[in-house]
């Protein structure tokens, strides 16, 4: 069974030959450590590390876009940047501090336009789909996490109440752009759309469910509908405690749900029991303690638990809750993927291992 079919089987809530596995990203420092060599050719190194870990997927985004300008410097010499939207910020090398948001007044909202799609390319999608056998995820934005950074979260929340019609105008403009991105990805050879929209923090959603139902989920459903029309399944990525949101994610038509952070009190087993026949689950391997600070034996035990409790019947893709970061010791990354490869072969009986 090839890697694309393996992922598709899981997304269809079917049992493939083995549990699919992979990351949305692997930090370069970890790639170099795993390969025990410096990163000379980025593309070849990332292919090599995925072969080492027997990973089934890669996640890529857009190339290009409007240029970011350097418009000055702070007193300490840090550059001040301005982007297409009018956002201005300072980069200190470790943090980004916003000085001004592009959407600061009702007049800004009225005049808002997204960049022309012709400024962007999907070179990464083409490269990975043509040169490798990996299942290529192509990442798009949504209706919240691609909108509130244009104005800041405080202004976003105020606008929900004071100028909802203007906020919807901005959201509609953003979603029109994302729909064009999905078409570009489909034309470039993507296998799966990954829609990233962080709607929650550790305690639950950033905004009320009623606001999500009005200002977010209808627009996400548009993206899912187009992707499906183009023959592409869609996985929803959302950090934080998504427990309250799973029903809405399912109703929006998503094929998969990624992150499922245990440190945000997400119980993947309960979600599997309630929603497992409707949506594929991806993730749940902890990046706060387990992978960066735990022992290899602890990592192995948690992988076995997920295989035992979530993988039976299909509908599970093994992954961390976000990306395989530079803070993960190589031995823990190897323990995670080698354990999954050894024990994740179907059929898997519930309670096995």
Express the helix, strand and coil content of the chain in percent, nearest 5 each.
45, 20, 35
Question: What string of H, E and C letters represents the secondary structure of 280-315?
Answer: EEEECECCCCHHHHCCHHHHHHHHHHHHHHCCCCCC
| pLDDT for residue 264 | 97
User: What residues does each domain of the chain span?
Assistant: 3-65+115-343, 67-103
Do 186 and 231 form a contact (C-beta atoms < 8 A)? yes
With respect to CATH, is domain 3-65+115-343 assigned 3.40.50.1000?
A: no
Q: Is 200 helix (H, G, I), strand (E, B) or coil?
A: strand
| pLDDT for residue 34 | 98
Burial class (CB in 10 A: 0-12, 13-18, 19+), 105: exposed
pTM of structure = 0.97
| 353 residues of the chain, pLDDT tens digit each | 999 999 999 999 999 999 999 999 999 999 999 999 999 999 999 999 999 999 999 999 999 999 999 999 998 889 999 999 999 999 887 789 999 999 999 999 999 999 999 999 999 999 999 999 999 999 999 999 999 999 999 999 999 999 999 999 999 999 999 999 999 999 999 999 999 999 999 999 999 999 999 999 999 999 999 999 999 999 999 999 999 999 999 999 999 999 999 999 999 999 999 999 999 999 999 999 999 999 999 999 999 999 999 999 999 999 999 999 999 999 999 999 999 999 999 999 776 77
90 beta partners: 80, 97
Tokens of residue 7, six digits: 């992922």
């Amino acid at each position: 069974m090839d890697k694309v079919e393996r992922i598709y089987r899981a997304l269809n809530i079917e049992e493939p030959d083995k549990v699919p596995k992979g990351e949305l990203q692997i930090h370069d420092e970890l790639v170099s450590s795993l390969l025990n060599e410096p990163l000379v050719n980025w593309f070849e190194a990332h292919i090599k590390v995925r072969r080492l870990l027997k990973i089934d997927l890669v996640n890529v985004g857009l190339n290009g876009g409007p240029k970011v300008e350097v418009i000055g410097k702070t007193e300490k010499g840090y550059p001040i940047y301005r982007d297409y939207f009018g956002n201005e910020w300072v980069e200190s090398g470790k943090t980004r501090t916003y000085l001004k948001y592009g959407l600061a007044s009702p007049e800004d909202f009225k005049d808002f336009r997204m960049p022309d799609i012709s400024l962007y390319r999907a070179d990464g999608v083409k490269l990975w789909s043509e040169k490798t056998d990996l299942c290529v995820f192509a990442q798009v934005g949504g209706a919240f996490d691609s909108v509130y950074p244009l104005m800041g979260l405080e202004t976003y929340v105020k606008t929900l109440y004071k100028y909802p019609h203007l906020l919807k105008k901005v959201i509609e403009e953003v979603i029109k752009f994302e729909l064009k991105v999905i078409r570009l990805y489909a034309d470039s050879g993507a296998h799966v759309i990954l829609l990233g929209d962080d709607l929650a923090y550790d305690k639950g959603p950033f905004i009320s469910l009623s606001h999500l139902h009005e200002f977010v989920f209808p627009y996400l459903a548009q993206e899912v509908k187009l992707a499906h029309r183009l023959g592409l399944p869609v996985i929803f990525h959302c950090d934080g405690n998504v427990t309250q949101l799973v029903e809405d994610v399912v109703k929006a038509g998503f094929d998969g749900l990624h992150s499922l952070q245990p440190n945000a009190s997400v119980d993947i087993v309960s979600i599997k029991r309630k929603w497992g026949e409707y949506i594929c689950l991806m993730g749940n391997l902890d990046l706060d303690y387990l992978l960066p600070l735990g022992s290899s034996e602890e990592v192995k035990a948690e992988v076995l638990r997920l295989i035992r409790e979530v993988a039976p019947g299909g509908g599970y893709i093994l992954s961390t809750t976000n990306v395989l970061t530079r803070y993960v010791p190589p031995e823990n990354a190897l323990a995670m993927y080698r354990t999954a490869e050894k024990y994740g072969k179907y059929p898997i009986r519930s309670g096995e291992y």
